[in-house]
Amino acid sequence: MRFTDKVAIVTGGASGIGLAVAKRLAHEGARIVLADYNQQNLDDATSQVKAAGAPDVLASLCNVAIEAQVEATVASALDKFGRLDVVVNNAGLMQFKPLEELTGDDWLRILNVDLLGAFYFTKQAFLHMKPGGAIVNVASIHAIETSPLVAPYAAAKAAMLSLTRSSSLEGKPKGIRTNAVLPGAIDTPMLWDNPNVKSGVEVIDKNDVGKPEDVAAIVAYLASDDAAFVQGAEVRVDGGRLNRL
Ligand code: NAI
């Protein structure tokens, strides 16, 4: 039980990888704050996280792209639980458009969620976490290699690795660790809704598809004291897909 007495916020915790992370941390004793902007999925996820063993769950309706909502989520977590130990920056979305059709607003929509959302929670973590705290950023293999039509997403995920480096450097004197995971193809709604996958532009071998629980296991490790000397790491969880030409 690596997270007994600890409090973890999981953004995008109402679906897919975020839900698997929340259930894994709950199973290991954490009190969980699910921060998501999908109320319907939040209700269902709350029951699932309780069933996974969470001593308590706070469902917080939060758009991570809006700093005031992030502040409110952290304030209600501190109000209810009195501490904050883990933040998992997982909320994310993709958009599919050729570069010549993308607008500045398209870019800002993706960057506001996939990059600034993680920044806003990092800022709150730095303001409120005690030494021993941990932040885990859910990036993507798109931070390293990418496919056509997802330029803002790939850029946001690459920048998230840069944020991980900055956060690990500035967090170290505070006793806060920041690390990133880079999932490959993971069996969630986001993967199968992907127009590149549907159209065959991006071909995914079924042996290269992982489970949300595969990512959750690494996130839990990085968030735990087992990783006490792991700082600023970028851990690929892609079944080796990125190594193949
Ligand atoms: P998902 O679509 O199943 O879940 C994403 C969750 O984030 C949803 O519950 C959604 O409501 C929430 N969300 C989206 N925008 C939000 C916002 N502005 N504020 C609050 N919540 C918001 O997707 P999945 O696959 O679980 O993705 C989770 C993370 O993993 C994302 O950051 C994604 O980029 C990353 N990832 C996923 C991969 C995959 O193959 N599924 C591969 C690589 C990275």
Which atom of ligand 1 is nearest the CA belonging to 63?
19
Q: Does the pLDDT of residue 245 top 80, yes or no?
A: no
User: What is the rounded distance in angstroms from the CA atom of residue 163 to the CA atom of residue 104?
Assistant: 22
> Any residues with CB less than 8 A from the CB of 153 and at least 6 apart, and which?
92, 93, 94, 95, 110, 114, 140, 142
1 located within any domain = no
In a domain, 57, yes or no: yes
Helix (H) or strand (E) holding 32, with range, is strand 31-36
Q: Whose CA is nearest to atom 3 of ligand 1?
A: 16
In a domain, 216, yes or no: yes
Domain region containing 140: 7-238
H/E run at residue 11: strand 7-11
What's the pLDDT score for residue 199?
87
- pLDDT (tens digit per residue) in 174-224: 999 999 999 999 999 889 889 988 888 888 999 999 999 999 999 999 999
pLDDT at 196: 86
* Ligand 1 nearest atom to the CA of residue 212, by list position: 26
Mean of the pLDDT values across residues 26-48?
Answer: 98
Ligand 1 in contact with 210 (CB < 6 A)? no
Backbone angles phi, psi at 55, to 5 degrees: -60, -30
Count of domains observed in the chain = 1
Q: How far is the CA of 93 from the centre of ligand 1 (A)?
A: 6
Structure confidence by residue, pLDDT tens digits, 112-129: 999 999 999 999 999 999
Q: Is 196 in the pocket of ligand 1 (CB under 6 A)?
A: no
Span 96-109, pLDDT tens digits: 999 999 999 999 99
Helix, strand counts (H, E) of the chain: 9, 9
What is d(CA 83, CA 23) in angstroms, rounded to the nearest whole number? 19
Q: Determine the average pLDDT of the residues in 142-154.
A: 97
Q: Exposure of 128 by Cβ count < 10 A (0-12 exposed, 13-18 middle, 19+ buried)?
A: middle
Quick check: is 21 in a domain?
yes
Look at the alpha carbons of 42, 43, 46, 48 in this order and tell me if their dihedral is positive or negative.
Answer: negative
The Cβ of residue 192 has, within 10 Å, a number of other Cβ atoms equal to 12
187 part of a folded domain? yes
Question: Could you tell me if residue 243 is inside a domain?
Answer: no
Expressed in angstroms, the distance from the first to the final Cα of the chain is 40
Question: Is 227 a member of any domain?
Answer: yes
63 pLDDT above the threshold of 80 = yes
Look up the CATH number of the domain holding residue 47. Answer: 3.40.50.720
Q: Is the residue at 68 inside a domain?
A: yes
User: Percent of the chain at pLDDT above 90?
Assistant: 92
